Structure 1
Amino acid sequence: MPKTLEGQITMEKTPSYFVTREAPARISAMSRDTKLIVVVRDPVTRAISDYTQTLSKKPDIPSFESLTFKNRTTGLIDTSWSAIQIGIYAKHLDNWLQHFPMGQILFVSGERLISDPAGELGRVQDFLGLKRIITDKHFYFNQTKGFPCLKKAEGSSKPHCLGKTKGRTHPRHRPRGGAEAARLLQALQHEVLPDDGT
C-alpha cells in the first residue's frame, strides 16, 4: 500500500481479495481499522458473466449447465466450480468476520451501481465518512455499453467508461438450469446478506 498522509484515504482494488482465504488475516495484520467495500451481484448473474468471459477466450468449453450441476436430475450444484464458488458470499464473509467486525464491511449492489450509481456511491461516501460530492451529475448512461459512465472530469478531454471487456452481452435469458441454480444458490446464502446484496 502507498503511504497515506493524514486526511487522505487510500483505496486499493483487487477483485480476488474477498474469495482469497489468506487475505483477511493479511489485511488485518496490516491495519485492523481498514474498511472493506465488497461489490456483489446476483450469484447466478455473476456466474453467467464469469462463464461468458471464459467463453470469449475458450469457445470450446462445456455448456454452462454441465459445469453448474453435478447431477442435473437431482439439481445438485457443483459448488467446486469457481464461477459458482465465488458467488457463495456467506462462506467468504464468514472468513472475513473472523478478522473484521461487520461494521467495517459495506456490501455494494452491482445491480444498483448500474441502475443508480450516484445512490450507491452515496452509501459508499457515507460509509467512509466523506461528504457526499459524487451525485447524478457525474454520470451519463452509455447506450453502447448498457451502463453508466463517468462524465468528462476536469482536465480530461473525454468521458471515462470501463474497457471493452466490460458490458459484454450476456444471454438474454438465463441458460437452462439458471432458475434452479438461482434457487439453490440463494439457499446457500447467509442471513447476514440481505436479498438485494446490500
Structure 2
Amino acid sequence: MGCSICRTRLNFGRALSKVSLFFTMLLIFMYFFYCFSGLCNSIPRTQFNLQTLTPEYASQNELKERDGSAVRSVSYDEVLLASSSIQPQIPDSIERESLPSNGISVSNTFGSKKFPQAIIIGVKKGGTRALLEFLRIHPDVRAVGAEPHFFDRFYDKGLEWYRHLMPRTIDGQITMEKTPSYFVTKEAPSRLCALNCQTKLIVVVRDPVTRAVSDYTQTLSKSPGLPSFETLVYKNATSRTIDVSWSAVRIGMYAKHLENWLQHFPLSSFLFVSGERLVSDPAGEMGRVQDFLGLKRIVSDKHFYFNQTKGFPCLKKPEGSSRPRCLGKSKGRTHPHIPAEVLQNLREFYRPFNLRFYHMSGQDFGWD
C-alpha cells in the first residue's frame, strides 16, 4: 500500500516537472519569436540625460571654447549614443528624403551618426549635385540627400541637430554632405573648423561666366519677370561696370572666397573638381575624388553613359536602382541669348580672379 502511494506521488511529480518544463520552453520560444519579429524594440529602455553624465564620462567630452561659443569636440560620438532621448527638429525637405513613406528610417539599425568627414562646399551651378549622385554609387560613402545648410543658415540649431541629419555609417564608411553656399559664406570656415579642422573639402568649380549665366537661367525659370541678364550684370550701364553685389557675379570670384577658407584650413584639405571635366570625363574626375577621400576606385566608366539630349553624363546604375537615371529636369536647361559683348566684358572682369585662383589652387582650369 505504502509503495503504491509512493509510486503515485513520484509519477505526479514527474508529470508536474514535465508540465513546468513545457511552459518554460514555451516562454523561451515566445521570447525568441518576439525578438526575431522586432517586437523586443518596444521594451522600455533606460533613458540618459546629458546633464546626469558622471564627471568621469563628461571629462572625456569636455567643451571647447572657439570664437566665444562652446562647441563639442568630435569625440562626443559616444554621448549621442547614450542620449537617444534627444530628438532635434529636422527640415521637412531632409526628413522626406531620408525617411520612407511609413516614417521609419530604413537605416536605423546598424552603425552610428557621425559628423561628416568630407563636405562638398561649393559652388552653386558648378556640378555639385552631379558629383554627389556619382559618389553615392560608392558603397563606402553615405551622404545626406538634401542640403543641410547648417554652417550658413541653421548654425544656431546646434551640433546635435546637425548630427541627427546625418545617415548612419559603419566602420570604413565616410559620412558626407553638400551645401554649395558654404564656399561663399564668410562665417562658414571658422564654424566648420571649430567642429573639425581636419574635414576634407571638395569645391566643384566651373567657368565663372558660364556659371553666372546658368545661375541666372535657374532664377529666371522661377521668376519669369526677372530683368535681363545684361540689366543685372552691370552696376552702371554707361560705364559697363560689373555689379559685384549681384550673387550670380560674386560667386564666380573664386580666389576671393578661397582666401577666406585658407585662413582656417590648409590647401591640402581641398580638392578642386572641374565642372567641365565632370561632364567630359566623369570617370577620370571621379577617380581623383575617390583618391582624395581615401576610397578604393569603384566608380568608373562602367557607371556612366552620355545623354545627348541633356548634354551631360547620366548614371547606368544609380544608388538604390537597377535602371539608368539622369539628373532632374532642372539640369540642362537651355540658356537665354545674351549679347556677345556682355559675355566678353564679364570674361575680362573675371580674368584676374581666375589667374589668381589658378595660382592659389595649383590648377589651370583653362577658362581664359
- Answering whether residue 215 of structure 2 is matched by residue 46 of structure 1, we say no
- Answering whether residue 236 of structure 2 is matched by residue 68 of structure 1, we say no
CA distance in 1, matches of 2:276, 2:252: 14
% identical aligned pairs: 67
Query: Which residue of the partner structure matches residue 107 of structure 1?
Result: 272
Residue 102 of structure 1, CA deviation: 0.4
TM-score (structure 2 length as normaliser): 0.51
- Answering whether residue 283 of structure 2 is matched by residue 118 of structure 1, we say yes
- Answering whether residue 254 of structure 2 is matched by residue 86 of structure 1, we say no
| Contact 1:65–1:176 (8 Å) recurs in 2 | no
Q: Which amino acid aligns with 1:10?
A: T
Residue 174 of structure 1, CA deviation: 6.1
Query: Which residue of the partner structure matches residue 34 of structure 1?
Result: 199
Residue 117 of structure 1, CA deviation: 0.4
- RCO higher in 1 or 2 (8 Å CA, sep ≥ 6)? 1
Q: Which amino acid aligns with 1:192?
A: M
Gaps of 5+ in 2: 1-162
- Answering whether residue 344 of structure 2 is matched by residue 179 of structure 1, we say yes
Query: Which residue of the partner structure matches residue 57 of structure 1?
Result: 222
CA distance in 2, matches of 1:167, 1:68: 22
State the superposition RMSD in angstroms: 2.1
| Contact 1:64–1:175 (8 Å) recurs in 2 | no
| Contact 1:109–1:197 (8 Å) recurs in 2 | no
CA distance in 1, matches of 2:246, 2:252: 10
Residue 197 of structure 1, CA deviation: 7.2
Residue 6 of structure 1, CA deviation: 3.6
SS of the equivalent of 2:194 reads: helix
Q: Which amino acid aligns with 1:152?
A: K
Query: Which residue of the partner structure matches residue 154 of structure 2?
Result: none
| Contact 1:107–1:197 (8 Å) recurs in 2 | no
- Answering whether residue 357 of structure 2 is matched by residue 196 of structure 1, we say no
| Contact 1:47–1:84 (8 Å) recurs in 2 | yes
Gaps of 5+ in 1: none
CA distance in 1, matches of 2:274, 2:180: 14
Q: Which stretch of the first structure deviates more once superposed, 14-23 or 145-154?
A: 145-154
Residue 155 of structure 1, CA deviation: 5.6
Residue 54 of structure 1, CA deviation: 1.1
Number of corresponding residues: 198
SS of the equivalent of 1:16 reads: helix
Residue 71 of structure 1, CA deviation: 2.9
| Contact 1:41–1:197 (8 Å) recurs in 2 | no
Query: Which residue of the partner structure matches residue 142 of structure 1?
Result: 307
| Contact 1:43–1:88 (8 Å) recurs in 2 | yes
Residue 69 of structure 1, CA deviation: 1.5
**Which residue, out of 173, 183, 200, partners 1:18?**
183
